[in-house]
Homo-oligomer: A and B are copies of this chain.
Amino acid sequence: MTLNSIQAIPLKRSIMNLILLDLADIDADGYAWVRDPRRVRHLHEVHGVASGDELTLGILGGAIGRGRLISLGEHEACFEVIRLELSPPAPLPVHLVLALPRPRMLARSLEHVTALGVKHITLLHTRRVEKSYWQSPELAPGRIRDHLWLGLEQARDTVLPEVTLERRFKPFVEDRLPELLQGRRGLFAHPGMPSACPRGIGDDTLLLVGPEGGFIPYEVERLLDAGCQGVHLGERILRVETAVTALLARLF
């Protein structure tokens, strides 16, 4: 594949906001080698990228800066790292606990919330989560990491969120939740709660979002008992990915 032939590839993503590099991608001379098929394909899909171009780079967990594309081949790309001087954007002060959504919704929700700056994500089993969702290949660590990585590249961030799986509701609520709520405000989104979701709070928050179909009454009671407050987003029923984005945008 030559650079000329690349121009004819249909554009799937015409924008590349950031190329996120692992420290392991960078050699002793300050050159970064990108060799995984996803990122190389992504570079080829960017309209008109050619050797000599300056692009925005970030180091996983570290700084953001600029790099010059030295070569772009079929299987690898090489950058000269020019400077790394910016910090990644501030994270949101939230630990998000999400009832495990169906696989495609999970993938998109992870990308949305990572782009929005969430750094702590717990995927939780609740009564109305289909048990089969826990068998999904989307839960493999590599797949989760791919979605987080895409969210970071989208938002020009470098700090991977931490994702925890909680396959049982009761042990989570009894054993982990009290600790997670220390120093944090606990909110759970549930239709029909008396309070509307607050706006623009600066507090450290634990935010719980139920599955399609919501929490069951027993779960609502356990969350209230634990000291969480139930909030609603109005009378409309939203998909999980829409609701999570709306909640985060409204709270922070």
Contact = CB atoms under 8 A, between A and B. Distances in A.
Interface in A201-252: 212-213, 233-239, 242, 245-250
A120 interface: no
In which size bucket is the chain A interface?
Answer: 35 or more
A249 B247 CA distance: 7
Number of copies: 2
A67 interface: no
Nearest to A153: B237
B130 A237 contact: no
Interface in A22-40: none
Interface stretch (A70-78, A154-162, A166-174): A154-162
A156 to B, nearest CB: 6
A154 B241 CA distance: 12
Give the one of A157, A199, A239 with max B CB within 10 A: A239
A69 interface: no
Contacts of A97: none
Interface stretch (A1-9, A111-119, A138-146): A111-119
A236 B89 contact: yes
Contact of A250 (B14, B89, B249): B249
8 contacts: A11-B102, A14-B130, A14-B213, A115-B238, A116-B238, A156-B237, A247-B249, A249-B249
User: Which A-B residue pairs are the 5 nearest by beta carbons?
Assistant: A246-B249, A155-B236, A249-B249, A245-B245, A15-B212
Given A115-B236, A115-B238, A154-B239, 4 more contacts: A14-B130, A14-B212, A154-B238, A242-B245
